[in-house]
Amino acid sequence: MSEAARYEPWKNRDMTHVRPYGDTFDDGVVQLSFSLPVPPGEEAAEAARQLVTQMGFVEPSVTHQHDLGEDFTFVVLYAKTKAAVDFTKIKVAKVDSPRMSFYEINEFIEENFGRKITIIGACTGTDAHTVGIDAIMNMKGYNGEYGLERYPMIDAYNLGAQVENEEMVAKAIELNADAILVSQVVTQKDVHIPNLAQLVELLEAEGLREKLILICGGPRIGHELALELGYDAGFGPGTLAPDVASYVVQEMMKRGLK
Amino acid sequence: MSKLYLDPNLIARARTAASDIADSLQSFILERTTVAVERTVLRLYGMDGVDADYVPLPNVVVDHLKEGGVLERGAATFVLNAVLQTGRTIQEIGEAVADGTLNLCELPLASLDEIRKKGIELATASLERIRANRAKRDEYLTRLGEGPQPYIYVIVATGNIYEDVVQAKAAARQGADIIAVIRSTGQSLIDYVPYGATTEGFGGTYATQENFKIMRAALDEVGEEIGRYIRLCNYCSGLCMPEIAAMGAIERLDVMLNDALYGILFRDINMQRTLVDQNFSRMINSFAGVIINTGEDNYLTTADAVEQAPSVLASQFINEQLALRSGLPEEQMGLGHAFEMSPDLEDGFLLELSQAQMAREIFPRAPLKYMPPTKHMTGNIFKGHVQDTLFNMVGVMTNQGIQLLGMMTEAIHTPLIHDRHIAIEAAKYVFKNMRNFGEEIEYKRDGKIVARAQEVLNDAAAKLEEIRDIGMLEAISRGMFADVKRTMTGGKGLHGVFMRAEDYWNPFETLLRAELGLEAMAR
């Protein structure tokens, strides 16, 4: 073994076997915490150790436990894993259109479409949390980026919260929308999944699905999930208006939606 | 003595403007009633249960009167008339209307004197039950005591009331003073109150009278065991606002979110509807000894917290004046605000401290409700825990009344059972370790904290005077609160608003006005 491989093993690391790093290369150290529906004590700690052993961890060590009342115990553990992933084989679905600026997007629309494009957005179903859709659409925007309402070449309509999918489709027809943005913040018990899927079905029934860009977003939404549900793209936390608008205009171009 | 050197004349100016705004709203409110107000009257008379289609009887009866074209005279007249004419109880009358065997609009009308006499007699008995609940709370507080302020407020939100009970009791044992059962998402927009114990909900649990009863019993039980009264909170907002107030009064809830402006701005509920509903709901909350919480914190989650600070203060002034007109004492006004500035801001802590101290000084007797960071929580639980810690510091330094604890898992999921424990443990540590820190410090007269408070107060006063000039409803339609624009006739629930007829009668309103010393304000 060369000096470098012995003392700086991360320099030529094997990317086909990647595991967590604690404080020593390849140690596989993981921190874990969870609650058990049992009273606190030695038995609770042992139960936690056995559980993580069953999960495939080794050398589990309970560093803290606390009585939550009502016969529940919170435990904190450290353990090691022997599991590893082949990083060279990782494939992730990502939105890959380049991000343009506010000015570039407006220019792009003017040059390529020669008209304003229309984007409608809402929090649909029972979801009442507009913080996400507001950040993308409202004039003011978020984190230093203007929202879509501010874009001179975009007619943006933020329909607000708890909009039914049927209403969304009706609005899309009425306004001749080029793109629909659906925000879903409440994802407890996967309530967003059937709601998002229903919109796709309604659009397909109306023969609209191929004529517009359909996007969903929210803190628990990713591009992969969006594709699975029949959307064109999904945007997660940290998304700003230009991310969405760049994708919309480029996808419209690609699909020849003029 | 103001630590922020706030100008008492400026505070008085702002309060006068808010008072004028409230007066003009009040005369608008007193000319109207709503389907929800009328259903509340029936609920207060004890009408409960559902028909074969699970429609609550108060809805059945109010819809029946609405179809008969007599609702603008008030539901009480017709229901009490039926009591006199048929000798049945109010519950039996609801059931007879539901099964189609009784038409309230076709019964011969007894003399109004007789109807009113009977109505007042039965309403007095109903209010006695609420008074007894209030006495029971006082008895608990005397015997068991309570935690010091800021009260530690946490939420449960499993969707299943029985599972909520387990988590609520655990939270009480961990140190919570107030348990709020978050409602199922969307409940604010349904125009009836669901019935019975419920075990499924989305993002929360339906507010039903049975669910209130189940949770109340559980918290009383755990309170006895740990020797501390545990307050129960729910959401007296949305289209059934006054009905929830009535249910809460009957089941001895202690704290209620209760803010029309919140519904107007963030749930797109029609402003006429919810302002009328709010007035009656606050009278009930006032009489029941319920601490209301207002929703100013929400302005900060949708718009920029630094810029919106004067709006928050202006809204607190207006909410205070509206609450006074519903007879609500300052001790029951949990005016809302929040720690929502961007963590990236240099000296953001100073601005937060300034805002919280300012609210404390301007509303000295109100148990201010302080909301944690939510907008800038990221999913990084470790940083989130520190953000919550700074929030807790401001809470204890400025003697906030109710501290809604931040959860490090905010922005991820509804709290796991140990998320609450971690939050409570941290809050108790900060509160205890810094208990009298606020008493020990003064602020630099020409420093940033003082300057910021003065600037915010100044802007709020100017804003209130502007709102007085154009009118509150116009101000809302111009987007002067949280950048959201709402119109007089837009939003949900307008079809449920009625102009009161000349002989409109609401016996509970009459009695509560007398109880709350509001007679001078009646038209």
pLDDT at B175: 97
Complex ipTM? 0.87
Per the CB < 8 Å rule, is A134 touching B202? no
Angle at B452 between CA B449 and CA B455, to 5 degrees: 150
* A216 within 8 A of A230, measured Cβ to Cβ: no
Residue of B nearest to A73 (CA): B418
Which has the minimum average pLDDT: A31-35, A238-242, B46-50?
A238-242
Give, in order, the Cα–Cα distances in Å from A94 to each of A102, A224, B378. Answer: 22, 7, 21
Per the CB < 8 Å rule, is B173 touching A68? yes
pLDDT at B521: 57
Tell me if residue B220 is catalytic: no
3-state secondary structure of A80: strand
Task: State residue A48 phi and psi, 5-degree precision.
Answer: -65, -45
Look up residue B121 and give its two tokens: 């007699």
Q: Which of B193, B45, B223, B206 is nearest to B125 (CA)?
A: B45
**Between A162 and B251, the higher pLDDT residue:** B251
3-state secondary structure of A38: coil
Give, in order, the Cα–Cα distances in Å from B462 to each of A86, A232, B279, B294, B314. Answer: 63, 48, 26, 22, 9
pLDDT at B523 over 50: no
Which chain B residues are Cβ-neighbours of A162 within 8 angstroms? 186, 189, 267
* B251 within 8 A of B209, measured Cβ to Cβ: yes
What is the rounded average pLDDT for all residues in chain B? 95
pLDDT at A11: 85
The set of catalytic residues of A is 140
Mean pLDDT of B11-29: 96
Mean pLDDT of B38-66: 97
Q: Which of A168, A140, A139 is nearest to A156 (CA)?
A: A139
Give the burial class of B16: count Cβ atoms within 10 A of its Cβ; 0-12 exposed, 13-18 middle, 19 or more buried: middle
Which chain B residues are Cβ-neighbours of A76 within 8 angstroms? none
Q: Which residue's entry shows tokens 């390529």?
A: A112
Look up residue B33 and give its two tokens: 């009633």
Q: Which of B301, B396, B298, B306 is nearest to B345 (CA)?
A: B306
Q: Active site residue: B45, B140, B153, B262, which one?
A: B262
Per the CB < 8 Å rule, is B267 touching A128? yes
Q: Does B303 touch chain A (CB under 8 A)?
A: yes
Q: Active site residue: B297, B388, B443, B463, which one?
A: B297
Q: Does A189 touch chain B (CB under 8 A)?
A: yes
Mean pLDDT of B434-440: 96
Per the CB < 8 Å rule, is A186 touching B203? yes
- Cα–Cα distance measured from residue B86 to residue A96, given in angstroms and rounded to the nearest whole number: 74
Q: Which of B169, B460, B412 is nearest to B312 (CA)?
A: B460
Q: How many CB pairs under 8 A join A and B?
A: 79
Nearest CA distance, B203 vs chain A (angstrom): 6
Per the CB < 8 Å rule, is A188 touching B411? no
Q: Does B302 touch chain A (CB under 8 A)?
A: yes
- Which of A33, A126, A239 to probe by mutation at the B interface, max B CB count within 10 Å? A126
Restricting to B residues 196-255, those with a Cβ less than 8 Å away from any Cβ of A are: 202-203
* B212 within 8 A of B288, measured Cβ to Cβ: no
Instruction: Name residues whose C-beta falls within 8 Å of residue B400's C-beta, 6 or more positions apart in sequence.
Output: B149, B150, B356, B360, B368, B369, B370, B394
Tell me if residue B262 is catalytic: yes
Mean pLDDT of B213-242: 97
Type and span of the H or E element at A158: strand A154-158
Q: Which of A65-69, A194-198, B183-187 has the highest mean pLDDT?
A: A65-69
Q: Does A70 touch chain B (CB under 8 A)?
A: yes
pLDDT at B120 over 80: yes
**Residue B496's CB: how many other CB atoms inside 10 A?**
23
Per the CB < 8 Å rule, is A237 touching B266? no
3-state secondary structure of B448: helix
Look up residue B384 and give its two tokens: 């989130």
- Cα–Cα distance measured from residue A34 to residue B419, given in angstroms and rounded to the nearest whole number: 10
What value does the CA radius of gyration of chain B take, rounded to a whole number of Å?
A: 23
* B104 within 8 A of B82, measured Cβ to Cβ: yes
pLDDT at B104 over 80: yes
Nearest to A131 among B170, B302, B421 (CB): B302
Mean pLDDT of B194-204: 92
* A60 within 8 A of A52, measured Cβ to Cβ: yes
- Cα–Cα distance measured from residue B287 to residue B76, given in angstroms and rounded to the nearest whole number: 20
Beta bridge partners of B484: B481
pLDDT at B370 over 50: yes
How is domain A102-255 classified at the architecture level of CATH?
Answer: 3-Layer(aba) Sandwich (3.40)
Tell me if residue B297 is catalytic: yes
Strand runs labelled E in B319-366: 333-334, 336-338
* DSSP per-residue codes, B216-242: HHHHHHHHHHHTS--EEEEE--GGGHH
pLDDT at B167: 97
Per the CB < 8 Å rule, is B375 touching A219? no
pLDDT at A126 over 80: no
3-state secondary structure of A47: helix
pLDDT at B199 over 80: yes
Q: Which of B133, B481, B171 is nearest to B302 (CA)?
A: B481
What is the rounded average pLDDT for all residues in chain A? 91
- Cα–Cα distance measured from residue A33 to residue A62, given in angstroms and rounded to the nearest whole number: 9
Q: Does B381 touch chain A (CB under 8 A)?
A: no
Nearest CA distance, B418 vs chain A (angstrom): 6
Per the CB < 8 Å rule, is A69 touching B170? yes
Residue of A nearest to B300 (CA): A131
Residue of B nearest to A132 (CA): B302
**Between A17 and B189, the higher pLDDT residue:** A17
**Residue A8's CB: how many other CB atoms inside 10 A?**
12
Residue B409 binned pLDDT confidence (cut-offs 50, 70, 90): very high
3-state secondary structure of A214: strand
Q: For chain B, what percent of residues have pLDDT higher than 70?
A: 99
Residue A1 binned pLDDT confidence (cut-offs 50, 70, 90): low
- Which of B268, B377, B414, B485 to probe by mutation at the A interface, max A CB count within 10 Å? B268
Nearest to B189 among A138, A162, A189 (CB): A162
Nearest to B174 among A69, A126, A131 (CB): A69
Restricting to A residues 82-121, those with a Cβ less than 8 Å away from any Cβ of B are: none
- Which of B418, B428, B487, B492 to probe by mutation at the A interface, max A CB count within 10 Å? B418
Which has the minimum average pLDDT: A205-214, B116-125, B300-309?
B300-309
Q: What is the largest CA-CA distance in chain A?
A: 72
* B358 within 8 A of B313, measured Cβ to Cβ: yes
Q: Sketch the domain layout of chain A as residue ranges.
A: 29-87, 102-255
> Could you tell me the domains of chain B?
32-123 (1.10.8.1000), 145-451 (3.20.20.440)
3-state secondary structure of A135: helix
B342: Cα separation from own chain's centroid: 27
Look up residue B470 and give its two tokens: 């154009």
* A66 within 8 A of A40, measured Cβ to Cβ: yes
B468: Cα separation from own chain's centroid: 24
Amino acid at A209: R
Per the CB < 8 Å rule, is B417 touching A189? no
Q: Which residue's entry shows tokens 């006739």?
A: B489
Nearest to A162 among B174, B186, B378 (CB): B186
Amino acid at A235: F
pLDDT at A134 over 90: no
Q: Does A124 touch chain B (CB under 8 A)?
A: no
Look up residue B469 and give its two tokens: 């000039």
**Between B133 and B482, the higher pLDDT residue:** B133
- Cα–Cα distance measured from residue A45 to residue A65, given in angstroms and rounded to the nearest whole number: 7
Nearest CA distance, B463 vs chain A (angstrom): 20
Give, in order, the Cα–Cα distances in Å from B502 to each of A62, B31, B47, B74, B133. Answer: 73, 10, 26, 10, 34
Q: Active site residue: B369, B370, B388, B419, which one?
A: B369
Per the CB < 8 Å rule, is B203 touching A188? yes
Nearest to B483 among A35, A140, A160 (CB): A140
* B176 within 8 A of B222, measured Cβ to Cβ: no
Q: Please state which of the four CATH numbers 3.30.30.60, 3.30.1360.20, 3.30.360.10, 2.60.40.10 is assigned to the domain occupying A29-87.
A: 3.30.30.60
Nearest to B421 among A68, A129, A188 (CB): A68
Mean pLDDT of B127-145: 98
pLDDT at B454 over 50: yes
Q: Does A38 touch chain B (CB under 8 A)?
A: no
Which chain A residues are Cβ-neighbours of B301 within 8 angstroms? 131
